[in-house]
Amino acid sequence: MSLVQVATNTVTSAVASVTLTGIDSDDVYMVAVNNATPSVDTNELRMRFTVSGTAQTTSNYDWANKRLRSSTTFTNDSDTNQTGTRALDNVGNGAGENSNAIYYLYNFNNSSEYSFVTIEVSAHNGSENRGFQGGTVYTVAEAHNGVHFYNHQGNNISSGTFTLYKVV
């Protein structure tokens, strides 16, 4: 397996969202997020799929994951008919607080199938390590050309590197 970089965006000052596009084949794609931090304490970053670079905001995202926290037991988390999917764990904006993630994107270029993503996240929030593993499906058969990250509470993304790769 090799990775070919398709798009990258390094956030160094606050932005409302990050969009990565360039999916143009039936290959599996991967997104890596490194050191993502929200602009406001305990905010959650979410993700949407894009059509022609535009984030799909309809209530067609179904997701489930297993949440892991160093301060308590694991929990199961899921939801249906959402306008986006949980992408990164709630973290603060203090020194050393950030989220990292790997997403594998399947069927994105196929207009006859549902697009879906597997998600692996690790995060540090204050004195607690967190993470989750799971997946999301977009329940409309349409082709998607990328992903869009945004702050679920409407605030900004302060920092992070977001990179889209083709898996070859």
pLDDT tens, position by position, 86-97: 887 666 666 767
Question: Can you list the domains of the chain with their CATH numbers?
Answer: 3-167 (2.60.120)
Question: What's the pTM value of the predicted model, to 2 decimals?
Answer: 0.93
3-state DSSP of the chain? CCEEEEEEEEECCCECEEEEECCCCCCCEEEEEEEEEECCCCECEEEEEEECCEECCCCCEEEEEEEEECCCCCEEEEEEEECCEECCCCECCCCCCEEEEEEEEECCCCCCCEEEEEEEEEEEECCEEEEEEEEEEEEEECCCCEEEEEECCCCCEEEEEEEEEEEC
pLDDT tens profile 22-76: 999 999 999 999 998 888 776 678 999 999 999 999 999 999 999 888 888 888 9
